A and B are shown apart, each in its own frame.
Chain A
């Protein structure tokens, strides 16, 4: 069992894998279940002594297959299979990179100050107008506007362009 550290496999990949699954199934609960199942399947495989060269890619593959299975089950056979996202168009590596970026955005949103996050989510996710948010939270429209631009600034600064050469 040398060199199997599931804690690290989770810590670096759990959230990205959940976001990867979301691109296929758009259901947070189901995404978590599928990712958890995939980790368990990998664990059992390794317990049986199987060799898995790239555990991360293997996890992504398992998550994708499970998502597609799920979509197939729910789709009426005559209807053509259309995953929500760009399956087949986006390369595996790009999909992994995208999931990692999105996982960092998720974390960055989570780390916003509470009030700021609340206002931001009401505006950007729930589509409420500034006036509506201001009324619901008892704030001025100006405060709402400021909180949203603050959130956007923090998020954009927090998520850096990462794949590049240094001093280039």
Chain B
């Protein structure tokens, strides 16, 4: 059975108009109408910076029922780990991943992580977090459980995303994103996935004719700073490395001939 029913396509086609139902435009006019100013958004990861020689404890061992539990963590910087099964995990600052020595493919996540799961048809890889259950065979994806709205973004393969192991879930494939809020039982697939939700892992922001207001929102969320710009109506395309915010600002200013102030 396919859910791609012709009646859906026919309905959409009947009304389709180029450039309409533009979510970013709608957000912009909503913000303007309601006097909402751009400010840093929700994610409250303890993104500490400027601590010289921070001592990062990256791996600790705990015992539960005589089975050794391994806990991996990223302190102030993005950290990469390889699990016993060959799976590669990248943890965002302030995030933790725990698994038991007995079943290293059943993990618990706090915070935000990117996974490149080693393929094993016999043993699915599972991630649980508060209100999140993710199950895969072998694939690449990011899980963001750092705020009350949990998100999954898939870059390769196939991922099952649900609220809990026995709840109904959604299947995500390449470049699909879904989110679940506490009030919902099934994740909702984003009509327009945000490629920059994994900028922290990829090390770059990708903008493609993106309205400046959205560009600044992305940067604002990533670096936890606010911006003011002399002209918000312009659009930006390009790839920018995440390392140097001041350089990004500089490049945008000269590309669009505008002035941006950090707050």
Q: Which residues of A are in contact with B by a Cβ distance under 8 Å?
A: 3, 5-8, 10-16, 18-19, 22-23, 26, 28, 31-32, 35-36, 39-40, 43, 53-56, 98, 100-107, 109, 121, 124-125, 155-156, 159-167
Contacts and interface: CB of A to CB of B under 8 A. Distances in A.
A125 B3 contact: no
A100 B188 contact: yes
B4 A155 contact: yes
B20 A107 contact: no
Nearest to B34: A43
B230 interface: no
A74 to B, nearest CB: 18
Interface residues of B, number: 48
Contacts of A165: 168-169
Interface stretch (B5-13, B53-61, B97-105, B112-120): B5-13
B26 interface: yes
Contacts of A39: 26, 30
B66 interface: no
A3 B148 contact: yes
Interface string B164-198: 00001111010000010101101011111010000
A164 B171 contact: yes
Contacts of A10: 23, 26-27, 30
A161 B1 CA distance: 8
A12 B42 CA distance: 16
B42 A14 contact: no
Contact of A15 (B13, B21, B179): B21
Contacts of A35: 26
Contacts of A12: 179, 188, 190-191
Given A28-B15, A101-B8, A124-B13, A15 B191 contact: yes
B51 interface: no
A117 B119 CA distance: 37
Interface string B19-34: 0110100110110011
Contact of A19 (B9, B12, B171, B181): B12
A102 B12 contact: yes
Given A43-B34, A124-B13, A166-B135, A106 B21 contact: yes
Nearest to A35: B26
A26 to B, nearest CB: 7
B188 A14 contact: no
A109 B36 contact: no
A141 to B, nearest CB: 21
A118 to B, nearest CB: 9
Which are the 5 A-B pairs with shortest beta-carbon distances?
Answer: A166-B160, A103-B191, A14-B23, A161-B3, A105-B12
B183 A55 contact: yes
Contacts of B2: 156, 161
B12 A109 contact: yes
A165 B189 CA distance: 16
Contacts of B4: 101, 105, 155-156, 159-161
A148 to B, nearest CB: 12
Nearest to A27: B15
A93 to B, nearest CB: 9
Interface string B141-157: 00000001100000000
Given A10-B23, A166-B169, A5 B16 contact: no
A6 B1 contact: no
Given A163-B3, A164-B171, A32 B191 contact: no
